[in-house]
Structures are given as structure tokens and as C-alpha cells.
Amino acid sequence: MTRHATIRKAVFPVAGLGTRFLPATKAQPKEMLPLVDKPIIQYGVEEALASGVDNIILVTGRGKNAIEDHFDVNIELETFLEARGKTAQLEEIRKISNLINFSYVRQGEPLGLGHAVLVTQGLIGHEPFAVILGDDVIDANPPALRQMIAVYEELQGPVIAVERVPTEEVSAYGILDAEPIRPGVHRIVDLVEKPAVAEAPSNLAIIGRYVLTPDIFPELEATQSDRTGEIQLTNGLRSLLQKRPLYALEIDGVRHDTGNKLGFLRAVVYFALRRPDLAGPFREYLSSIDLENKLKLR
Ligand code: G1P
């Protein structure tokens, strides 16, 4: 397989508590909730791999051991599947542990996305890197991160993935003021974390993918926590913007925000309908639902 040398490492912040999915996330990480039969985090890891990344750095916290186990070898399960001759399943689970190199670093305190990135400084060193927020699952070809790396290589500066969102949703995102360079590619003029609708400079929202350069670290070190007590990556990028140009790319693909319940449900339906083994009967089931008379679900 051809490897891409420019971006070799991807950071996945996974220390969040997942309170929006309680009680499901009381004793398991939200990143392990499945879309059909694959945990949410695995979609992001496979995207990184398909984009040429070969080192995954997970920023974890308490109660996230299931993620480490998921990407580790499970000898007991492999022996069991082998003895039963279940070759396809065996291949599938071996593929997961062979995926890539994993490192883990603990965030310690929940001090925000900027802080999560900052704790990876020792593992990243002096090279450009990606940050992937696993909640945002993006179905795209080429993969979303691969699209961003191409723009990073062309423009030689940090690239942030963005999407236009309905105006009433801007206060859930980092929002950009930006000037178009060409369709889909922008030069960033300013960034603001979760603005009020009336104060948003546009509806270009940051979605969970960043290609960053190591000069973000001193900016994050100098970034004060905001009124929620968190160090925002958006604010670190805002100071970096005083020193170098930053770019934004509208991803060509379909994004699902699996971090909220409706987005999660949509993603499950979307990925089920893309599965050759399930699409037929599932489509049949969906079209049999009488949406006008919800109590008569069959
Ligand atoms: C984070 C970022 C925000 C970005 C969002 C994308 O917010 O702080 O700028 O728009 O991810 O998912 P969070 O969703 O973690 O509150």
C-alpha cells in the first residue's frame, strides 16, 4: 500500500464522559457505541489509515479501557473462532488489531479539546499531525482526512474541515469568518467558538477534522481557559492566525454527528442501508413502517 509521508500521526481525543448517551455510557465509552456492528471510533481510525496515517494517539481518561482492548489482540477470541472454523469473523477481528500503531496518553482532567491536543505534544514532536473527533463520522471518497492532506500539501498551512450548517445551529460549533480561494477552499480571517446566532460571522462550521502544525502547541500553552473552564482549540488557532495563514476545506462527503441522539440514529440507518447484507431487508422494513400511525409499527 502506498503510504503518505507528510501526516503520519492522528490524535483522537476520547476522554469525554458521554453524558448525552446515559445510561448507555455509564459503564462503557460512547466511542464504542456501534453504527450497525462497528464502534464509532473505528470509522475514524479506518479513515485515518486510508489517508496514510500510521500512528494513532488516543487521549483517554477514566473508564475508556474498552477502546484500548478493542484495538488490541484478543487471543482467547481468536482461538475460539479458529477452533470453530469461523474464518471470516477471525479475519475481521484480526484486521482491527493489525490496523495501525496505537499510543495512549491520559488527559487527567477534562480541560477541553485544546488541552487534549496539548497533552500529545511529547508524542507528536515537531511534525504536522491530524486531529480527528470521532463523533463526526464522515463517509467520503477519497476519505475526508485524505482530502485535507491534499490541501495541506498544496497550501503548506493548517487545514480545518468545515461544513455549512443551518443558522440556528451555529452556536454548537466553532464558526469561521473566511474568504474563498476557490470553491470549497477558504482562507480563514477569524474563528469564534460557539458564537450566539446574532454574532456568528458566517454559517461555516468547524467539523471534527484538523490538519495542524506543531506551532499550535505554544499557542495552546498560552491560551487561557474560557468561562466554561476549558482550553478551546479554536482559541489556540485564533492566536496562531496572527502568525501564519490558516485554511478551511468543505469536505466532499456525508457527515453524521453521532454525538447527539438524532444524528446517531440517522447514522445507524445510513450505514445499515449501505451494507450489502442488510440493505435489502432493512429497506423493506423501513418502507413497511406506517409513519402516519406510529403505534402500528410492525
Ligand atoms: C468541538 C470544537 C468546535 C467544533 C466541534 C465539531 O466542539 O470545540 O469548534 O465545531 O467540536 O464537532 P464540541 O462538539 O466538542 O463541543
Q: Each residue of 153-211: pLDDT tens digit?
A: 999 999 999 999 999 999 999 999 999 999 999 999 999 999 999 999 999 999 999 99
Q: What is the structure's pLDDT at 279?
A: 95
Q: Please say if the pLDDT value at position 1 is more than 50.
A: no
The number of distinct structural domains making up the chain is: 1
Average confidence (pLDDT) over 81-94: 84
Residue 258 Cα to ligand 1 midpoint, Å, equals 13
The three cell numbers of residue 122 are 511529547
**257 close to 205: Cβ distance less than 8 angstroms:** no
Cell numbers at 151, concatenated:
490541501
Q: Model-level pTM? A: 0.92
Residue 173 alpha carbon, nearest atom of ligand 1: 10
Assess whether pLDDT exceeds 50 at residue 2. Answer: no
CATH of the domain at 231: 3.90.550.10
Residue 222 lies in a domain: yes
pLDDT, tens digit (0-9, with 9 covering 90-100), for 45-69: 999 999 999 899 999 988 888 998 8
Among protein residues, the one with the nearest Cα to ligand 1's atom 15 is 113
**How far is the centre of ligand 1, averaged over its atoms, from the C-alpha of 171 (Å)?**
10
Test site for ligand 1: of 132, 204, 206, 231, most ligand atoms within 8 A of the Cβ: 206
CA dist 146 and 53 (Å) reads 9
Alpha carbon distance 20, 261 (integer Å): 8
Q: Is the confidence at residue 123, as pLDDT, over 70?
A: yes
Residue 134's closest CA among 9, 29, 8, 270? 29
Domain range spanning residue 56?
9-259
List the alpha helices (DSSP H) in the chain.
Answer: 40-50, 65-70, 75-83, 87-97, 113-118, 121-124, 144-155, 216-222, 233-240, 261-273, 279-288
In a domain, 211, yes or no: yes
pLDDT tens digit sequence for 279-298: 999 999 999 988 877 655 55
Which atom of ligand 1 lies at the shortest distance from residue 136's CA? 12
pLDDT value of position 19? 85
Q: Element (H or E) spanning 295, and its range?
A: none
The 8-class DSSP code of residue 17 comes to: -
**pLDDT category, 30, cuts 50, 70, 90?**
very high
Mean pLDDT of 33-38: 95
For a pLDDT cut of 70, what percent of the chain falls above it? 96
Q: How many other β-carbons are positioned within 10 Å of the β-carbon of residue 121? A: 16
Cis peptide before 214 (omega within 30 of 0): no
Give the β-pairing of 55-60 and 9-13: parallel
Let me know if residue 290 belongs to a domain. Answer: no
